[in-house]
Amino acid sequence: MKKIILKCRLKNRDDFERKLSDIDMDFGSVYWQYDRVFVPRGYKPHSSYPRLIMRTEMRALDRPPRYEFIMKRHVEDSGIDIVDATVVRDYSETVKIIQQLGFKLEAEISRRRQEITMESGIKLYLDKVENVDGYYAKMEAVLTEDDKVSEVREEIMNTFKTLGQSNFSGDGYYEMVRNNI
């Protein structure tokens, strides 16, 4: 699936949430995600190489975690992300397969997340990433065949600006965590 993903560092989390609340949008419950990011040999940041991610997600303490295997590739020239994900039962076996394919563990990302699904199908996330200063808002839009990348990107940027945000970040959490280590 092709996505446009934009994120920005929030100037003030409370102000951001207040502005959303003023337009009758409130985040859902907080949940936890833990990503282990694997990269191929010769991986270079800001390249179009794929990353493989093993994600653990806990939505409630009284329910088992959900494990998801994600292939993510950012295509620099087009500004889109290609993301494919599948739920897996056996976390350990999937990690062994990733390693046997020659991918190496590059980063581990732990975050608390809340989300809203907006009218246009865009998902808005509020993230607090461990070992990264501040809070981040992230919007993801799934592209259809008829969508123009520049128009969708502009729509997301305008939404952020309407909410008083303009501190856009081109780096993913993977790069942010890696640069803090």
**pLDDT confidence of residue 100:** 95
CB 108 within 8 A of CB 34: yes
Distance CA 174, CA 108 (A): 8
Q: What is the CATH number of domain 2-180?
A: 2.40.320.10
CA quadruple 150, 155, 159, 164: dihedral sign: positive
**pLDDT confidence of residue 172:** 82
**pLDDT confidence of residue 59:** 95
**pLDDT confidence of residue 181:** 52
**pLDDT confidence of residue 29:** 94
For the chain, 181 residues long, the average pLDDT of each consecutive 10-residue run is 93 94 92 96 81 96 95 83 95 96 94 92 94 94 90 92 89 80 52
Where are the chain's structural domains? 2-180
Note the pTM of the prediction, 2 decimals. Answer: 0.90
